[in-house]
Amino acid sequence: MTQFHVLVNCPFGDFVDDTSLSPIDRKYCLSLVNGFEDGHWQTKSFLEFIWDNVKETALSKKEREALADKESSMLDRAVVNLRITDDDITGGEIAEILLYGVMRHHYGALPVVPKIFYKQNKNDFAKGADSVHIVIEKDSSFSLWLGEAKFYRTLDNAHLDKIIKSVHDTLSTEKIKKENTIITNLSDLYEFEEIPKDLRNSIINLLRASSIDGLKKHLHIPILLLHQCNITTKAIEADKVYFNNIVDDYKKKANVYFAKQIEGCKDIFKYDEITFHLILFPVPDKKDIVNKFKSKANAYRS
């Protein structure tokens, strides 16, 4: 993701304020920022990244492969599956697509459930995580990533409380089992050549197990918070001052977030075995991004 600057990419424990906070293991922070040009945040570049990655979540793997040599047709088909209605839904989809792009380019993940595609085509799948990925680890094991993605005007306590509630719901036994059923019943998991047959069988057996307890150590929860940011609104270039201000602000936000999450999710069985990734991405103006995205989507549909 060379077009974005990575400002923070480390364990939360590297800058935790409250040393009594526990557990802080298996918690990570990632901060990405967009660039500037001629004194302005690069809206066009950001939206190009969104459009370049929309197919990962708005099309099934079979559709992506069938249209592999027809980029324009692939984009046309993907746009049909977007739910361009009100600004909140559109903003949510922008955040979901961004998360799919981050999962693909930063974590090397495979999109085993293209969520926007199934939200459009099977309402049943609309509930649950905002993204579902498999990562093949270096030791030839795997991790299952159930993501949350939100686009907020502010990152105040009320919004942090909402995302923690959403994470808690995603971690419920019922929701995890439902996601497992969806993954194993869809064809996408079976069509990735990157997953060796033996590993695929191991994944399927674990996802179909009667208990999810054994899955917890494989479970990763990426939480992407795309948000309007006063620091970014006032900035005119991606210089050291801007970077330092963002890093200082995000360290504070990460401390607030994880303190709230530890308190809000402490009743989750084997919570300490689950890995969490807080991903923060600032923008100067949510409404402008949503309007430009909707305008292009509607142009594709006309």
What pLDDT digit, counting tens, does each position of 249-291 carry? 999 999 999 999 999 999 999 999 999 999 999 999 999 999 9
Q: What is the H or E stretch that residue 10 is in?
A: strand 5-11
Q: Are 182 and 164 in contact (CB under 8 A)?
A: no
Helices (H), 81-237: 87-105, 115-121, 157-170, 173-185, 197-207, 230-234
Q: Whole-angstrom Cα distance, residue 103 to residue 99?
A: 6
Which residue's entry shows tokens 């069509």? 191
Which of 121-154 are b and which e, b meaning 16 or more Cβ less than 10 Å from the residue's Cβ? Answer: eeeebeebbbbbbbbbeeeeebbbbbbbbbbbee
Which of 42-79 are b and which e, b meaning 16 or more Cβ less than 10 Å from the residue's Cβ? Answer: bbeebeebbbebbbbbbbbbebbeebeeeeeebbebbb
Higher-pLDDT residue of 63 and 11 is: 11
The residue ranges of DSSP E strands in 20-126, in sequence order, are 27-33, 36-37, 40-41, 110-113
What pLDDT digit, counting tens, does each position of 22-50 carry? 999 999 999 999 999 999 999 999 999 99
- Strand partners for 149: 224
Cα(first)–Cα(last) distance of the chain, in Å?
A: 31
Query: Tokens representing 273?
Result: 């075995």
Number of domains into which the chain is organized? 1
Residue type, 259: A
Query: Tokens representing 131?
Result: 């993204």
Q: Whole-angstrom Cα distance, residue 174 to residue 128?
A: 10
Q: Is the pLDDT of residue 123 over 80?
A: no
Query: Tokens representing 215?
Result: 């899955």
Which residue's entry shows tokens 């006063």? 230
What pLDDT digit, counting tens, does each position of 172-189 carry? 999 999 999 989 988 788
Pairing mode of beta strands 131-136, 110-113 = antiparallel
Q: Is the pLDDT of residue 132 over 80?
A: yes
Q: What percent of the chain has pLDDT over 70?
A: 93
pLDDT band at 171 (very low <50, low <70, confident <90, very high): very high
Coil/strand/helix, residue 179: helix
245: domain range? 5-301
Rounded to the nearest 10°, the torsion over CA 63, 68, 72, 74 is 10
